A and B are shown apart, each in its own frame.
Chain A
């Protein structure tokens, strides 16, 4: 596995977006593709690809003063084995399927998730803006 420095230095990230409307509901398709090339002459050692299709209510989006709207999205992802999985040379990858919602406060995310973050990363709950670097 490459060193942390080389991973960051040679990571490639791309994203694409497209919109469409079904039955009056707007959808936004968003794809993200990240690859890590410790040696650019070889295939990436780490990759992830995630696909999201967001949807929101038209009337909420049309409110002229709205700075954000409730939304959900369909989510799929493929990701190479992470080092912590210790999968060695076994060919394969992980896959995920989720249906995801957005909350505007930490109080509105599921309590068990809050409890897990509290145990692992209490600083994030204490000051989310700081975690985002702002």
Chain B
């Protein structure tokens, strides 16, 4: 961009331009298998090694960030976000893993970092009851691209009251796709894009969606080592989601957006500050025996 093109807005464009180009650039890069990319990576194994492990061990993925509310281009911080997802990947075939997961999230006060049972919503000012989010065990077939159909019902989740606050009963359509890896020097980036749409059983209820984008980052050298079942990794996390029923935003055209960092550890003790403390306080049964919940019969 020449200096004559610079303006107040183009200052941002200068930052955003390379970012916007990365998506098609990364796909083309992998296809070209340039010298920069080095030996080709197995996309599925790369993702599993970064988000879990290919040898079936129990892992704990975490997310730490902030949730915002978006209405008409206005964005207001809503709450903090802490998440721990217990996961275990088991290889079924060369191109498919079985994933079992159990997820716990906390929506926290922005100033104290603590879970509070009520929250004042942006835009409406309503004081709403904040649920303790706990779902699972869930199962997915993990491939480079996959579509699955599941059901969501207050009758077959851990807590009927919590389930009712999270989404109406309905059928879930889940699509997931892995990007081509972006490789530069020893860095590998891989984005997982997941789309969920819930069609309610009751036509009077509103359909519900979320779009989740996770870009994991790891070391090419580690990923190319066939003896290594997992690699050190971190993640950039973006989630856009319809209002949940508990937010009481009916009739307001908007959605939430989460921006967070993430990673994966091998013990609850290694989770980032605040997550284990919240889990111990609100879900001591999970902390005492994670496998009991991960291996329980699912809904």
With contacts A7-B9, A53-B65, A133-B3 taken as known, whether A98 is within 8 angstroms of B260 at the C-beta atoms is no
User: Which chain B residues border A51 with CB–CB below 8 Å?
Assistant: 66, 259
CB distance from A56 to the nearest CB of B (A): 12
Q: Is B272 an interface residue (CB 8 A)?
A: yes
A22 touching B12 by the CB < 8 A rule? Answer: no
Query: CB < 8 Å: which of A78, A109, A123 contacts B2?
Result: A123
A121 to B6, CA, bound (A): 13
B214 touches A78 (CB 8 A): no
The answer on a CB contact under 8 Å between B75 and A99 is no
Per-position binary interface string of chain A over residues 98-127, scored 1 when its CB falls under 8 Å from any chain B CB and 0 otherwise: 111100000011111100110001011000
Chain A residues within 8 Å of B217, by CB: 72, 99
Question: Cβ of B9: which chain A residues have Cβ within 8 Å of it?
Answer: 7-8, 11, 34, 36, 46
Q: Which of B22-30, B219-227, B280-288 contacts A (4 or more CB under 8 A)?
A: B22-30
Instruction: Look across to chain B and name the residue whose beta carbon is closest to the beta carbon of A44.
Output: B73
Could you give, for residues 257-276 of chain B, a 1 whenever the CB lies within 8 Å of some chain A CB and a 0 otherwise? 11111000000001011000
Cα distance, A13 to B74, chains bound together (Å): 13
**Chain B, interface residues (CB within 8 Å), range:** 35 or more
State how many residues of chain A have any CB contact under 8 Å with chain B: 56
Interface stretch of the complex, out of B92-100, B141-149, B230-238: B230-238
Instruction: Find A110's partner among B3, B182, B253, B270 (CB 8 Å cutoff).
Output: B182
**Is A66 an interface residue, CB under 8 A from the partner?**
no
Partner of B12, one of A32, A76, A110, A130: A32
Q: Within the complex, what minimum Cβ distance (angstroms) separates B212 from chain A?
A: 9
Given contacts A51-B259, A53-B259, A80-B73, contact A97 B25 (CB under 8 A): no
A residues near B204, Cβ cutoff 8 Å: none
B187 within 8 A of A: yes
How many contacts between A and B, using CB within 8 angstroms?
140
Q: Which of B70, B211, B235 contacts A74 (CB 8 A)?
A: B235
Asked if A75 and B236 sit within 8 Å, CB to CB, the answer is yes
- Judge whether B22 and A98 touch: CB under 8 Å: yes
Q: Interface 1/0s, chain B 161-203, versus A by CB < 8 A?
A: 0000000000000000000001011010101000000000000
Q: Find A78's partner among B8, B12, B70, B235 (CB 8 Å cutoff).
A: B70
Min CB gap B294→A, angstroms: 24
The residue on A at minimum CB distance from B237 is A74
User: Which of A49, A50, A93, A110 is in CB contact (< 8 Å) with B29?
Assistant: A110
A39 to chain B, nearest CB (A): 15
Q: Are B215 and A91 interface neighbours, CB within 8 A?
A: no
A130 touches B3 (CB 8 A): yes
Specify which chain A residues have a CB less than 8 angstroms from the CB of B289 in the assembled complex.
none
Residues of B bordering A, CB below 8 Å: 1-3, 6-9, 12, 14-16, 18-22, 25, 28-29, 32, 34, 36, 64-66, 68, 70, 72-75, 182, 184-185, 187, 189, 191, 211, 213-217, 234-238, 240, 253, 257-261, 270, 272-273
Add 6 more A-B contacts to A55-B261, A77-B19 (CB < 8 A): A47-B73, A53-B65, A76-B237, A76-B257, A78-B70, A111-B36
